[in-house]
Amino acid sequence: MENMESTVLEEIAFDGRPPFLRIYKDGRVERLVGTQIDVPPRIDSKTNVESKDTVYSQETTQYLRLYVPKNATSSSAQKLPLLVYFHDGAFFIGTASSPMRAPEHPIPITYHDSRYALKWLASHYGGNGHEKWLNRHVDFNKVYLSGDSAGDETKDPDKRAKIERFWRLVSPTTSGTDDPWINPFKDQSLASLVCSRVLVCVAEKDVLRHRGWYYCERLKKTEWKGEVEMMESKGEDHVFHLLELTCDSAMAKLKKVAAFMNQGP
């Protein structure tokens, strides 16, 4: 057994700790988490929300999942805001519905893929797009972009080395943690940021907490003319709202996001 373990360790060129994935010297990638079978699109009996998958890139066959309340109407006065959610996974883990992952597909491929998805969604603005659900149900004057789990800022040399190692895994040509692909404040003004409002949510025990606060404070000091709000969930850790969906902190965060969206663009 010891010989087998020794042989395996010698073959590993990168071994993530905690164990997210392994990359072997022969180029093989072994993902240790995020390989669960996807939940198929369906009607959720508890929430009465219907979902389906639709391809937005014929070239890469990439698809996204749409969700809509079953009782949604097609009346223009009752159309719904569009919330675009970019799931977590540090760019390299996820399920079969996330094939464009690093290191096989390094950054900026992921960003370009996201841009293609947004352009495809925008093609439905006039109500004549490919996807009927978007034409029928979405108010494109109320579009929100959301996501979680990206970036970190720490002075601890060991933690910083680990973060930089992961970043170089997903972006081999990076210039470091100040790379514009991960640090938007390389553009000091951000005057071109087109949204009018931003909500930043962090958790007290999350290693990414400081990066969230950093983003919020830096955004306030730029030439951007919008408004930024901050919410910190006390006593909680990384993506707690995905692990304990109905805990008090998760429900409070959900209400905050809903209130933010209900204020309008």
Q: Which residues are catalytic?
A: 149, 206, 238
Burial of 167 (0-12, 13-18, 19+ CB in 10 A): buried
Give first-to-last CA distance, the chain, whole Å.
60
- CA distance linking residue 86 with residue 83, whole number of Å: 10
Query: Which one-letter DSSP state was computed for residue 76?
Result: G
- CA distance linking residue 20 with residue 177, whole number of Å: 20
Q: Which amino acid is at 160?
A: R
Question: Residues 93, 31: contact at Cβ < 8 Å?
Answer: yes
> Which of left, alpha, beta for 33 (phi over 0: left; psi -120 to 50: alpha)?
beta
Contacts of 86 (CB under 8 A, 6+ apart): 114, 145, 146, 147
